[in-house]
Amino acid sequence: MLKAGFSRTDVTPPLGAYLSGYFFERYAKGVLDPLELNAIAFSDGNETVLLIAADFIGIDKLHCDMLREQISAHVGVPTEHIMLACLHQHTSVCFAQGDTHTRNDRTYADSVWRKYCDVAQMALDDMKEATLGFAAEDTAEPIAFIRKYLMTDGSIIGHPFGRQHEIVRRLGDADNTVRLLRFKRENANDIALINFCTHPDVVKGEYISADWPGFVRRFVEHDLDGVSCLVLTGVQGDSNHSDYLKTPQKGYEHARFMGRTIADTVLRIWEKTEPQTNTAVGGCIETIFLPTRTDGIEEYEQSKALLDAVNNKTPGVTATGAVLGRARRVVQMRRDPLLQQVPVTVMMLGSIAFVGFGGEPFTYYATAIAEACPDVTVLSACCCNGYEGYLPTVEEYERPESYEGNSTPFPRELMDTCINTAVRLIKHGKAL
């Protein structure tokens, strides 16, 4: 018999917290809406899995490993059954080796670590008998867009600011499917788990916000009485909210619009979920080791000089995102280990596969896994059990204007290795 439980706790940082996600420093001046940890625990009577979704831009693998050990010791769930996903809002904070700001605020960081254990325990304590249903439907209009454009000069760029008139076409369509898991429980709140794939990079600015995922949670819980909602950001490395074929939108009100659009889709399919009779539970995490990418190592001095000039706001010094991404990677090379690590996480709930990658995977990652595993419903997750960089497609390495291709520390075999690992874990039953 399936059991499921839900819990939530506030993890909003103090004012003055460093907001990660861009090429310039930002410090929180206020709070538009709170940041949260939302957790679901589910069990088939033999195995139990914990999924915790955090309103953080990311937590690196080193700290995720420590967190999972701490949670496991606190609640008794095996570390390989704990999935820590960050929703990747750019009006939030980061816990990573290269971003010392948040980690150095020990009072806040220690409270967050303890709250992970608390939210895990509360979700387990809330477990009740449940039935599971699944439904999926595209939003009424697209709100996610592939952020790659072919230009009239033959180049492919990600953010054609001021160059819309040079766009030939967008490179593909983003995934605008809303995927819904409904845990229906007697004498307790139903639980809605909503999976949607695009960057939560809409609000921008210097005010803390959970961006569109926060709006989805609030709208769903307002519209559906007695429902608790968790949002899981899927693959998003090459998609965002900006449609440069029209007038790009951004800001708090556009995040609200996106949240409303996703919530409306949930309302349309809420009573249409298909019952899932197979609810066997399992999970595993496998770490991929790949050699650190070293092209450009001879550019160290000029890369460091460029970054110093940009950080110091030296007059007349400008650079594209691709150039800055390459410079950051080259400078970081001297501190990087010989091998890079990418955790691949697969949690199974019957024929539902939660597939998470420890970075920012491109849309193709989830598409390829779904095509290779047609009998499984794939719900993808970015920044899962790690936050190690962009996970691009092979083509991005050939594009000089690609920020993701220039900044990733991983070699070209990354994509095939990640996808093949996830498929193997699903097909060979390693997660069950």
Question: Amino acid letter at 98?
Answer: G
> Which of 78, 74, 84, 88 lies closest to 52 in space, CA to CA?
84
Other CB atoms closer than 10 Å to residue 16's CB: what's the count?
Answer: 10
d(CA 65, CA 82): 10
User: Tokens in use for 38?
Assistant: 């939302």
d(CA 400, CA 323): 9
Residue given tokens 């496991």 in the structure block: 72
Quote the pLDDT of residue 311: 81
The conformation of residue 72, written as its DSSP 8-state character, comes to H
d(CA 420, CA 369): 8
d(CA 251, CA 254): 5
Quote the pLDDT of residue 428: 80
φ, ψ for residue 230, nearest 5 deg = -120, 135
Quote the pLDDT of residue 432: 63
| b/e burial code for range 295-311 (CB count within 10 A of at least 16 → b) | eeeebeeebeebbeebe
Q: What value, to the nearest 5°, has the Cα angle with vertex 310 and ends 308 and 314? A: 95
Quote the pLDDT of residue 88: 97
Residue given tokens 């967050």 in the structure block: 112
d(CA 268, CA 40): 23
Quote the pLDDT of residue 431: 60
pLDDT in tens, 344-386: 999 999 999 999 999 999 999 999 999 999 999 999 999 999 9
Give the global pTM: 0.96
> Do the Cβ atoms of 3 and 129 come closer than 8 Å?
yes
Q: What value, to the nearest 5°, has the Cα angle with vertex 371 and ends 365 and 377? A: 85
Quote the pLDDT of residue 24: 76
Quote the pLDDT of residue 101: 62
φ, ψ for residue 164, nearest 5 deg = -55, -35
Stretches where the chain sits below pLDDT 50 are none
> Which of 372, 350, 379 lies closest to 233 in space, CA to CA?
379
The conformation of residue 18, written as its DSSP 8-state character, comes to B
d(CA 162, CA 177): 30
Local structure of 75: helix, strand or coil: helix
pLDDT in tens, 5-53: 999 999 999 999 999 888 778 999 999 999 999 999 999 999 999 999 9
> Do the Cβ atoms of 310 and 317 come closer than 8 Å?
yes
Quote the pLDDT of residue 7: 98
> Which of 389, 240, 236 lies closest to 325 in space, CA to CA?
389
The conformation of residue 14, written as its DSSP 8-state character, comes to P
Query: Under 8 Å CB-to-CB from 161, ≥6 apart: which residues?
Result: none
User: Tokens in use for 179?
Assistant: 């995927």
Quote the pLDDT of residue 103: 58
Quote the pLDDT of residue 159: 87
User: Tokens in use for 400?
Assistant: 């000089």
> Which of 310, 330, 329, 312 lies closest to 320 in space, CA to CA?
310
Quote the pLDDT of residue 316: 85
d(CA 323, CA 27): 25
φ, ψ for residue 21, nearest 5 deg = 125, -10
- CA 213 to the chain's CA centroid: 11
